[in-house]
Amino acid sequence: MDRGTFLPQELIDKFIDDLWFERDIATLKTLSQTSRLFVHRCRRHLFAHIHLSSGNSPGQSQRIARKAKNLEDVLVKVPEVANYVQSLFFMISNFNAEEVHIISQLLLRFSMLNDLSLYMYSPFDWALVAPELQSAISRLVYSPRMDAFSLQGIHNFPVSFFAPCTNLTYLGIHSCALEDQAPLWNVETGIIARLQILNLGETSVGLEKLICGTRGQDGPPILDFSHLQELTADLPKQEALPFFERY
């Protein structure tokens, strides 16, 4: 029990957890600035899920970059907050070089991230994403901690991107176009992610390249679908089922 309070920290934490369960964000923000007894637990909830996104309107990239810069300023002052970030919803936009650097540096701080969603309102070509930002995203997805990865509205996304994934159990692909131009012949086999949940749909194309693709002729699969427990597919029956006949 902390001196100056009649409540054990366990009860205080339980109270804060209940506020989070009720999504009472306003109260959590207030408490986080009220007493050091509340700070740690409140921060753990408030920074668990980060949205770097903006409405589909002019100035979108600037607003997203501004959010990233504000969060970066917080992390510079309180570095441990980065360890609380578990989930990131990130909207890709036409970022300029300065915005790319700001966002990329922020992403590299999220070493405990286990859930990443990449989103675009309208189809966006992955090849147009700056190499620095592609690299930062790749480092997050290839982390052993990464458990869930979602894509929406990304075109020309390389199937080879998924090969280094090791611990993914959830994959969501919506309104995307996958391509297999990058060679997989020399991809190291190592650990192959065993998916448990696959969520597909909304006119995504090129899915067969990921689902049926192998690492070289007759090699191991890009991702292991043999442990799949749940499949949600918004696809025509004749298109979806043949992919999974082998499983």
How far, in Å, CA of 59 to CA of 63, rounded?
6
Q: What is the domain extent for residue 85?
A: 50-146
Phi/psi class of residue 218: alpha, beta or left (left: φ > 0; alpha: ψ in -120 to 50)? Answer: left
HSE of 220 in the Cβ direction (CA atoms, 13 Å)? 16
How many distinct structural domains can be found in the chain? 3
Query: Per-residue confidence of the chain (247 residues) as pLDDT tens digits?
Result: 445 556 677 777 776 777 667 777 777 777 777 777 777 777 887 788 999 988 777 788 999 999 999 999 999 998 999 999 999 999 999 999 999 999 999 999 999 999 999 998 888 999 999 999 999 999 999 999 999 999 999 999 999 899 889 899 999 999 999 987 655 544 555 688 999 999 987 777 888 888 887 766 667 888 899 999 999 887 655 554 555 555 5
For 192, the token pair is: 């192959």
- Shortest CA distance to 210 belongs to which of 194, 197, 222? 222
97 lies in some domain: yes
HSE of 224 in the Cβ direction (CA atoms, 13 Å)? 16
How far, in Å, CA of 73 to CA of 79, rounded?
10
Q: Indicate if 86 and 164 belong to the same structural domain.
A: no
CB atoms within 10 A of CB 31: 20
How far, in Å, CA of 171 to CA of 244, rounded?
15
- Shortest CA distance to 139 belongs to which of 171, 107, 166? 107
Domain boundary, last residue among 113, 146, 179: 146
CB 205 within 8 A of CB 174: no
pTM of the model as a whole: 0.81
Domain boundary, last residue among 119, 146, 173: 146
Q: Indicate if 178 and 238 belong to the same structural domain.
A: yes
HSE of 227 in the Cβ direction (CA atoms, 13 Å)? 12
Domain boundary, last residue among 146, 163, 198: 146
Which residue's structure tokens are 């080879």? 160
Q: Which residues pair with 232 in a beta bridge?
A: 199
Q: Assign 17 to helix, strand or coil.
A: helix
How far, in Å, CA of 127 to CA of 107, rounded?
19
CB 6 within 8 A of CB 35: no
